Amino acid sequence: MDDLVVVGAGPYGLSIAAHAAGAGLDVRLLGRPMASWRDHMPEGMYLKSEPWSSNLSAPGGRHTLAEYCATRGLVAEHGTPLPIGTFGDYGMWFARQAAPAVEEVTVTEVTPQGDGFLVHTAEGPPLLTRTVALAVGVMPFAHHPRTLRELPPGHYSHSSAHRDLTRFAGLEVAVLGAGQAALETAALLAEQGARPCLVARRARLNWNAVPQPLSRPPLRALRDPHSGLGTGWRGWAWSELPWAVRRLPAATRERIAATALGPAGAWWLRERFERRVPVLLGHRLHRAVAAGDRTRLGLIAGSGESVVLDTAHVIAATGFTPDLARLELLDAGLRAALERVGGSGTPELSPGFESSWPGLFFAGLLTAPSFGPSMRFVHGAGFTAGRLVRGVRKRLGARGPLPGSAGEARCSRAAAGRPTTHLR
pLDDT in tens, 76-95: 999 999 999 999 999 999 99
C-alpha span between 346 and 340 (Å, rounded):
5
My answer on whether 162 and 299 are in the same domain is yes
Give residue 72's pLDDT. Answer: 93
Phi and psi dihedrals of 328, rounded to 5?
-70, -20
Confidence bin at 99 (pLDDT 50/70/90): confident
Confidence bin at 399 (pLDDT 50/70/90): very low
Give residue 148's pLDDT. Answer: 96
Q: Which domain holds residue 385?
A: 2-141+320-417
Torsion angle of C-alpha atoms 400, 403, 408, 409, degrees rounded to 10: -50
My answer on whether 412 and 338 are in the same domain is yes
My answer on whether 292 and 159 are in the same domain is yes
Selection from 62, 68, 59 nearest residue 27 by Cα = 59
Domain boundary (316, 344, 360) is at 316
My answer on whether 9 and 54 are in the same domain is yes
My answer on whether 294 and 186 are in the same domain is yes
Mean pLDDT within 89-106: 95
My answer on whether 312 and 336 are in the same domain is no
Mean pLDDT within 339-349: 94
Provide the domain count of the chain.
2
Q: Where are the beta strands (DSSP E) in 9-87?
A: 27-30, 46-47, 82-83
My answer on whether 289 and 333 are in the same domain is no
Give residue 424's pLDDT. Answer: 24
Q: Is residue 231 part of a domain?
A: no
Which alpha helices (H) appear in 241-352, and where do they start and end? Answer: 242-246, 250-259, 270-276, 332-337
My answer on whether 77 and 15 are in the same domain is yes
Give residue 153's pLDDT. Answer: 87
My answer on whether 108 and 191 are in the same domain is no
Is 114 exposed, middle or buried, given 0-12, 13-18 or 19+ CB atoms closer than 10 A? exposed
C-alpha span between 86 and 288 (Å, rounded):
38
Give residue 221's pLDDT. Answer: 87
Q: Is residue 59 part of a domain?
A: yes
Confidence bin at 343 (pLDDT 50/70/90): confident
CA 380, chain centre distance (Å)? 10
Interval 40-81: pLDDT, tens:
999 999 999 999 999 999 999 999 999 999 999 998 999 999
303 Cβ partners below 8 Å, 6+ apart?
A: none
C-alpha span between 262 and 264 (Å, rounded):
6
Domain boundary (287, 316, 345) is at 316
Selection from 157, 139, 159 nearest residue 148 by Cα = 157
User: Cβ distance 315 to 174 under 8 Å?
Assistant: yes
Q: Is the pLDDT of residue 423 over 80?
A: no
C-alpha span between 310 and 319 (Å, rounded):
23
Q: Considering the chain, what is the average pLDDT of its residues?
A: 91
Would you say the pTM of this structure is higher than 0.85? yes
Q: Is residue 240 part of a domain?
A: no
Calculate what percentage of the chain has a pLDDT beyond 90.
85
Q: Where are the beta strands (DSSP E) in 106-171?
A: 107-113, 116-121, 127-134, 156-158
My answer on whether 159 and 302 are in the same domain is yes
Torsion angle of C-alpha atoms 146, 252, 203, 194, degrees rounded to 10: -50
Q: Is residue 105 part of a domain?
A: yes
My answer on whether 312 and 325 are in the same domain is no
Interval 225-273: pLDDT, tens:
988 888 899 989 999 999 999 999 999 999 999 899 889 999 999 999 9
Mean pLDDT within 163-174: 96
Q: Is residue 375 part of a domain?
A: yes
Q: Is residue 54 part of a domain?
A: yes
My answer on whether 293 and 154 are in the same domain is yes
Quote the DSSP letter at residue 343.
T
Interval 304-332: pLDDT, tens:
999 999 999 999 999 999 999 999 999 99
194 Cβ partners below 8 Å, 6+ apart?
A: 165, 168, 169, 170, 171, 172, 173
236: left (phi over 0), alpha (psi -120 to 50) or beta: alpha
Read off the CATH number of the domain in which 295 is found: 3.50.50.60
